[in-house]
Amino acid sequence: MSRSGTAIAATAVVVAGIAIAWFWVPRSEHAPAPPAAQTASQSPATGPEASPGSRSVGDDLDSEVQRLRDDPTYLQRLLAMYASETDLDTRGALLAVLRGAADDNEEILRFALDLADDPDPARRGDGLALLEAYPLDNAQVRELLTRQIGEEDDPQMLGRLVGMLEAAVVPTEDAAPLVEQLTRLRQHPDPGVRAASVMQSVSWDKGSDLEEVLHQAILDAAPQVRQAAIGGITASGARSPRLKDALLAIAADPASGNDERFAAVLALQDFPLSRAEYAIYLQAARMTEHGDHDH
């Protein structure tokens, strides 16, 4: 392979991972600000009950989590504070403590489910941020997200909900309602919603013809949907002559964006290429060396 091809190959794993992460919305992206423990001046012993006006938690996250697990009264205080706190740093610190103890605490789960169903958008967002602590093999969390996706009209909130669908191993019968929603959203008018749904389909839609899903997406008019399809091809290992043809067309098209062409070049490295196809790949690889990439 030429120096251009080798250079592209050397970054394939890293960039492919970043490209996939672009469409799998990072879970921490929607959480409140980082824990105040990183900036607060209180000692680890400081808690919400330390003084009448205290609105902070201690600096030692592990100690706070253990205290919350051991002390039901302290748990109730932190839940009440989280539900009403307006300071971003304090709410972020509370979120970190509650998430740390969430895995085996039914009370935190019930609180998060109720808050995520609140009609107030801000409170709903806080509830969803807390629910991100739970894997989707938890039926209650999975069912709430599936229901809200079916009811939601706002593209931004839909993107957030779809982004929360972190892959989990569940029976196909249990995953079916969620898969049905993803199938519907792949036809959504908003390209961001379509793109996110394509990427999540790779993880959840085990029973469908994934090659067909990705082929439809790679022909989408919106570049972000096409890039989601390319990321899905890379992540899933889907292969077919028509997927290769679509990747070659993107790589060769002067109208393709630099990022889209670069993603296509990376994906093509996993396909067998004839000499004519290799020439297209090599020319596209050289073009990407002179382009700027957003990711």
Instruction: Please state, as a whole number, how many other Cβ atoms lie within 10 Å of the Cβ of residue 255.
Output: 8
Task: Tell me, yes or no, whether 115 lies in a domain.
Answer: yes
**Structure tokens belonging to residue 91:** 């709410």
Rounded to whole angstroms, how far apart are CA atoms 265 and 9?
9
Rounded to whole angstroms, how far apart are CA atoms 23 and 131?
20
- pLDDT value for 1: 47
Task: Tell me, yes or no, whether 15 lies in a domain.
Answer: no
Task: Tell me, yes or no, whether 23 lies in a domain.
Answer: no
28 — phi, psi (to 5°)?
-75, -10
Task: Tell me, yes or no, whether 80 lies in a domain.
Answer: yes
- Kindly give the residue spans of alpha helices, DSSP state H, lying in the chain: 3-10, 12-23, 61-70, 72-84, 88-100, 106-116, 121-131, 139-151, 155-163, 172-185, 191-204, 210-218, 223-236, 241-252, 258-268, 275-289
- The answer to whether the beta carbons of residues 47 and 31 sit under 8 Å apart is no
Task: Tell me, yes or no, whether 214 lies in a domain.
Answer: no
- pLDDT value for 99: 96
Instruction: Please state, as a whole number, how many other Cβ atoms lie within 10 Å of the Cβ of residue 287.
Output: 18
- Domain region containing 63: 58-134
Q: Look at the chain and report how many structural domains it folds into.
A: 1
Cα dihedral value 233, 251, 258, 18, nearest 10: 20
Of residues 152, 163, 237, the one with CA closest to residue 200: 163
- The answer to whether the beta carbons of residues 8 and 267 sit under 8 Å apart is no
Per-residue pLDDT of the chain (295 residues; tens, 9 = 90+): 444 444 444 444 333 444 444 444 444 444 444 333 333 333 333 344 433 334 567 888 999 999 999 999 999 999 999 999 989 999 999 999 999 999 889 999 999 999 999 999 999 999 999 999 999 999 999 999 999 999 999 999 999 999 999 999 999 999 999 999 999 999 999 999 999 999 999 999 887 789 999 999 999 999 999 999 999 999 999 999 999 999 999 999 999 999 999 999 999 999 999 999 999 999 999 998 866 454 4
Phi-psi region of 31 (alpha: psi -120 to 50; beta: other; left: phi over 0): beta
Tell me how far apart the terminal alpha carbons of the chain are, to the nearest angstrom: 25
99 — phi, psi (to 5°)?
-60, -40
Angle 287-216-155 (CA atoms, 0-180°, nearest 5)?
95
Q: What is the pTM of this model?
A: 0.76
